[in-house]
A = this chain, B = another copy of it.
Amino acid sequence: MRYLDHADPVITLTTGPVNAYAEVLRGLSRVVLYDHDPAFQLFYEKTVAKAQAAMRLSTKPVILQGEPVMGLEAAAASLIAADDVVLNLVSGVYGKGFGRWAKRHSPKLIEIETAYNEAIDPQAVADMLKAHPEISVVSVCHHDTPSGTINPIDEIGAIVSAHGAYLIVDAVSSFGGMKTHPEDCHADIYVTGANKCLGTPPGLTLMAVSERAWAKMKDNPAAPRGSVLSILDWENAWSKDRPFPFTPSVAEMNGLDVALDLYLKEGAEAVWARHALTAKAARAGAIAMGLSLWAANERIASPTTTAIRTPEGVEEVALRKAARERYGVVLSAGRGETLGKLTRIGHMGPTAQPIYAIVALTALGGALNALGQKLDVGRGIEAALAVIDAEVS
């Protein structure tokens, strides 16, 4: 048999959109309330409070009504003024992309760029800040998803904070899947999403904004106002006594509310642990069956994505096609510069379960062998199992 293009696959193990928790999908079907209805306003305020708890914030987070790409664009547009000097840290495609947004708002852009399978060295940041005391905004992508690699944002954040610059963090695909919180890394704007590790469908941005970032945005005449790109418009929208700037995505909010309940009930530490274990099993299995990780070393490999280098002589599109056709398993491609060079297994939200590492390894190994490779899939499965079994407490 062969899974057809028009039929849904059996298991989707991508890096986004990520399938949502079944409970969240059901939550989307709640009745749609009027956004001025007191029941909705109370609900919205409570959901924001849950997001605040999940983000371990001392202030109210902002929920923007669009995928995190909206949040990142809005952050650049709101926080970066024409006279800012921006240091953008680049270890992958997403980090690089943020630089383009930054440049729209200020011509003075400095970048530190590593190879796309490496991570930013905090010392390099410290050195650069010393060399350029005029740097006023620093931006960094925590988990550069197209590479599956993690930057040390808590360390970087401490350095930036000491320097006094504002820090913008893209934690879209790391938050909720590993230990990271806006205040841990001294972020002034910290952007994450409801999809990815929270396990809600794509369509909402969660954003932490520091007190001084609010002040800077208010001082910035070019910061969007009266716009879907505005952060300022939403400053007080969390309060049941304040109207929304425009109609919020009610169904997505209903889903997010369930997702936050799940996260808080399972317990952050338990959620992170199953992301970490799934990724560890995936890495061990991939290596054991004869594949190479994309990440230069395991220390910087993300617990929410495992990126595996495409073996010599393999066409990456054919690889994913074979995995889907033969086993009904969908994996993610690379993106931009990493496209074709790697295949990614997502471990996010509902798919961050060790058994899915087995599924992914089987599909990946089987597909590669179908394309003529000679991988020892069985050995890979055993190595993954050994990792899982070692962590049975």
Contacts and interface: CB of A to CB of B under 8 A. Distances in A.
A229 B226 contact: no
Contact of A2 (B70, B252, B362, B393): B393
Nearest to A327: B355
A32 B5 contact: no
B392 A73 contact: no
A330 B329 CA distance: 21
B39 A228 contact: no
A392 B1 contact: yes
A370 B389 contact: yes
A22 B21 CA distance: 12
Interface centre among A14, A42, A203, A380, by most chain B C-beta atoms within 10 angstroms, is A203
Contact of A17 (B7, B32, B333): B32
Given A358-B358, A393-B2, A39 B8 contact: yes
B377 A389 contact: no
B388 A332 contact: no
A50 interface: no
A247 B195 contact: yes
Contacts of A327: 354-355, 358, 388
Given A247-B16, A388-B326, A39 B6 contact: yes
B8 A33 contact: yes
Interface residues of A, number: 95
B362 A251 contact: no
B358 A247 contact: no
A259 interface: no
A2 B392 CA distance: 6
A85 to B, nearest CB: 22
Nearest to A240: B5
A202 B250 contact: yes
Interface centre among A1, A7, A392, by most chain B C-beta atoms within 10 angstroms, is A1
**Which 9 pairs show the lowest CB-CB distances between chains A and B?**
A378-B378, A201-B251, A5-B38, A203-B249, A28-B28, A25-B29, A69-B246, A14-B34, A378-B382
